[in-house]
Structure 1
Amino acid sequence: MSEKLADPIDAATVVVARDTDNGIEVLMLRRNSRIYFGGMWVFPGGRVDPEDREIGDSGIINCDGLTLTGFRIAAVREASEEAGIDLSGANLYHFAHWLPPAIRPKRFSTHFFLVQAPMGLGEISIDNGEITEHKWITPAQALQQRSENEIEIVTPTFVTLDWLQKFENVDEAITAIDHPICFHTHIKEVTGDDPGMIAFYPGDISYETLDADADGPRRRCYMLKSGWSWEEHNGKNEGPSPKSN
């Protein structure tokens, strides 16, 4: 008998970013190898607790137009618990909602926020329990380290880093946020000489059919043996193939 799929677990992630002479840097944390997503480099975040919803917040509208509560509170709490950062007075900008495909018993419905690192931020204080390492790094450097197998990241982290690397500073990235973007994922496994997976997202011509060769708009992430890459265009002026990282 197949295992029943549970409802997704609500979670929040916060990308803490700062401006430097090298461009934007983001705070990344390495999870303990003995826990879920063990060894992965992630942004601060975690599940939404019942008390987060009781406290409430100013309200979040997700990419499906639903009003949510508790996610911003959870993001602030997790930043404090995992990295010792106080974001209680900061503006958190809601920019994405990630939902994995319903193919595993445990999955997370995660809302992503971007925040400018507070002025005068001191040393990062990790708990050395769930989190074992931390570093400030540019998105381009993080992507390069992933391609060289120096760090492991999950798809939402990859796509977020790929998005952030095109901006000169944090304010520019914040200004580009118009509304939260849906990343409700459909997956196609790839075999042959370059095996891996392709993740399709709403707006891709093949979101429902999983036909990777269909002509039309594309919004997808390739996670292949040869490398990872993001591809997004309207299908009219496709341009060159996406660069692998």
Structure 2
Amino acid sequence: MNASDPLPPARPAATVIVARDAGGEFEILFLKRSEVGAFAGLWVFPGGRVDDADPGHDELSRAAAAAVREAAEEVAVRVHPDSLITLSHWTPPAIAPKRYTTWFFVAPWTGDEVQIDQHEIVDARWVRPADAIAEGLPMAPPTHVTLVTLAEAGSFDGLTQLIGQRGVERFVTVPAQHDGALVLLWENDSGYESGDPTRPGARHRMVMREGLPHRYERTEQ
């Protein structure tokens, strides 16, 4: 493919955050992918591509079906379709070599024992969202931002209320460079429309520097 050729369309995908009660707070099921393949070595939520065979009448319902299927395939955990709460939708920048537009869902744990294959998934653990961030576990930006939202909510009920206030958030990523850092801009950031991260004002971005923890910034003005 030449640089001037149009990029192939992004493929739909889905991921599900399985949450369980932890003394008034909640823990989420976090998985570590193997060092080979997509998202190598990163911590992720159960999920994957939407298959043609996933049932549904529209993109969202097919993504929900994919989330249920992936939880069963990756960790042997049943997720009830009616329990899924839609959290967000992510669109990567056009420069990404592999592009997936991903729906993020949240669902309560049904009590099934977590089982992993030790090939694609090499570790699984229950962890509080704030602890996963504090430990500096390697993860992709959408996972990091999602953990911040979960930590802010504090509990499953709090998360439901937060989603009610914000609605289903859509993250269409605009990448920029500033002061040696990669800056990912999202809607409501003052630099989002222009792609200029130096513009003063509200912040909704992630700053990524080599060798340093990612920094998520979200302010109103």
TM-score, normalised to structure 1's length? 0.82
Counterpart amino acid of 1:123? E
Q: 1:82 aligned to 2:86?
A: no
C-alpha change, 1:74 and 1:196, in structure 2 (3 Å) is: same
1:219 is aligned to: 204
Q: Decide which of 153, 160, 166 is 2:139's aligned counterpart.
A: 153
C-alpha change, 1:100 and 1:112, in structure 2 (3 Å) is: same
Q: CA deviation at 1:22?
A: 7.4
2:12 is aligned to: 10
After the TM superposition, which residues 221-236 of structure 1 pair with which residues of structure 2 at under 5 Å, given as runs? Answer: 221-225=206-210, 226-235=212-221
2:102 is aligned to: 110
Rounded to whole Å, the distance in 2 between the matches of 1:205 and 1:89 is 37
CA displacement 1:48-85 (0-9 Å, x = unmatched): 00011xx216x6xxxxxxx6430000000000011110
CA displacement 1:174-217 (0-9 Å, x = unmatched): 222132101100011234xxx33111011211112232221222
Percent of pairs with identical residues: 35
1:70 is aligned to: 62
Q: Decide which of 27, 30, 33 is 2:29's aligned counterpart.
A: 27
Q: Decide which of 177, 181, 203 is 2:169's aligned counterpart.
A: 181
CA displacement 1:116-157 (0-9 Å, x = unmatched): 112xx14211122211110001111111111xxxx3100000
1:96 is aligned to: 88
Rounded to whole Å, the distance in 1 between the matches of 2:68 and 2:44 is 16
Uncovered stretches (5+) of structure 1, i.e. residues with no partner: 60-66, 236-245
Rounded to whole Å, the distance in 2 between the matches of 1:153 and 1:184 is 18
Rounded to whole Å, the distance in 2 between the matches of 1:159 and 1:180 is 14
Contact 2:76–2:112 (CA under 8 A) maintained in structure 1 = no
Contact 2:68–2:81 (CA under 8 A) maintained in structure 1 = no
2:115 is aligned to: 125
SS at match of 2:142: helix
Q: CA deviation at 1:89?
A: 5.0
Q: Per residue, is there more helix in 1 or in 2?
A: 2
Rounded to whole Å, the distance in 2 between the matches of 1:9 and 1:215 is 34
Contact 2:77–2:113 (CA under 8 A) maintained in structure 1 = no
SS at match of 1:81: helix
Q: 1:166 aligned to 2:166?
A: no
Runs of 4+ residues deviating >6 angstroms:
none
Contact 2:17–2:28 (CA under 8 A) maintained in structure 1 = yes
Counterpart amino acid of 1:126? I
Counterpart amino acid of 1:185? T
Contact 1:6–1:106 (CA under 8 A) maintained in structure 2 = no
C-alpha change, 1:96 and 1:162, in structure 2 (3 Å) is: same
Q: Decide which of 186, 189, 210 is 1:204's aligned counterpart.
A: 189
1:242 is aligned to: none
SS at match of 1:51: coil
Rounded to whole Å, the distance in 2 between the matches of 1:117 and 1:183 is 26
Q: 1:136 aligned to 2:126?
A: yes
RMSD, matched Cα: 1.8
Give the total of aligned pairs.
216
TM-score, normalised to structure 2's length? 0.90
Contact 1:5–1:104 (CA under 8 A) maintained in structure 2 = no
Rounded to whole Å, the distance in 2 between the matches of 1:167 and 1:217 is 21
C-alpha change, 1:165 and 1:68, in structure 2 (3 Å) is: closer
Rounded to whole Å, the distance in 2 between the matches of 1:41 and 1:227 is 15
